[in-house]
Structure 1
């Protein structure tokens, strides 16, 4: 059993990356009920413990079977490279008015994947009134976003943007084969087909839509693919660097480097172990965005940083010389 995405010539030109705050919210909710996902997120779990205790997440958990269908209307793929949670939630809320019969079938398919879920009081209530179910589930997703993800979104977004930058360069350097080879060990590319080795069956020709690729901080250790028409074919994979996601900031910049560059610029350079935006660095370092922006401009002008645009954000990363200065490693010959 496996999932297969079958590419045509047009699909090879229409693969794109995106970030979904709604997806991260959903997977954070799922992580709370999956202990095997906790390893990388223990600091986050400690921080959100009190807030999570104030949420009744059981209706969402009822639609998250261990194996099988998850409601597509609850997680529509993002339509652009950088969307807000509010924009995504509006699409979820609109599902019941667009096609209430499809929503009911989507709910039913998910509920039957968990023994007894469809016959439970909550399950029967959802199936009896799908429109009300959409409203209540949307409200619960919004509460989960506010309590679990929104306070940490700058850090999470910086991680996801850095992942996209890394894999975009792999795609540019080696094509789809090189890209998929480095995304996840359960992925295999052969001929014109991408296969996900996992339980279940899904076989879809992309038919010119291409494939949407979404990094996620919370999906580890799994890779997720699917969506039935008319949804965009999508692949969600674990983002690089989640092992250090919740670690404390690095210590102060070395004195020698601070004397050379100035304390503020040295701290910014040392904080760029992964590509990051001005806002993310400002939050990480506890500095004003304008101050960080001035330091970034100076470091960029000195040849210590590169910049690249992703959606509405500009990400900065160290050049080989910047890496050598920040880490003490000799620059490449």
Structure 2
């Protein structure tokens, strides 16, 4: 089976014991049912780093969803036991789940995470099918729903939600804040102002799944706020050949200066001493001798490093250049 890995899709929900997984980014949930007893080997592969954990066995999915504890984890890791490996947090793009003795009729829950946060396809399948004494799955592994979104956005922008399902899914519903629901697999939603999590619940008619035949998955739209800051002085007057100091003061509770880049314009050619800094001294070029007053406009663009959500503010400086008097002796 192959599926598109989630990117910027948030972390797995709180509650389960995630064993060896130090983090659980971009989660994809699967389940499978053992048809016969014996060892089962499931190989996972991608282009960049992925990780996994597996729990089981469980008598049904309803029991499984509330029992993802450390005690119910498939024992071992690849560093401890080559015959039983239920969790891996390596830096590799390939992983191997080994269930030492699958229990017929019982369910197992498998979580695969896209640690790399890269756009990639993740493939997995049982590799010891047909081997003497090997356990077999019932109807294969089914990923009911895999929701994704178009990635980080700036506050006020739109985001696209999309959904991939397996052929076993007969219906699904999106759920979001303020009573939002939808049955469309492709959604364009506008004006996100805060990071928002959406849940997809899918249903399958598979008779082996008890009691509700449902599963769910999450995707989180991450919203980056625009920088909120005040540039000072907004207007100032200096004498010909003078200078001034410009500052950017950030609003309390918003994005911080150390999470942003700065770009002053005009830069060094306009007398800006530190064109890539939050604050800078500015030595405006001399005004023409025939102008007693002249005004220059400077701007600073502040951009969050995590995502391009730039804000530009300006300041004006008036250069006072009085004419030099000529004294004539009587």
Q: Same fold (TM over 0.5)?
A: no
Greater per-residue strand proportion: 2
- TM-score, normalised with respect to structure 2: 0.22
Greater per-residue helix proportion: 1
- TM-score, normalised with respect to structure 1: 0.22
Q: Which has the larger radius of gyration?
A: 2
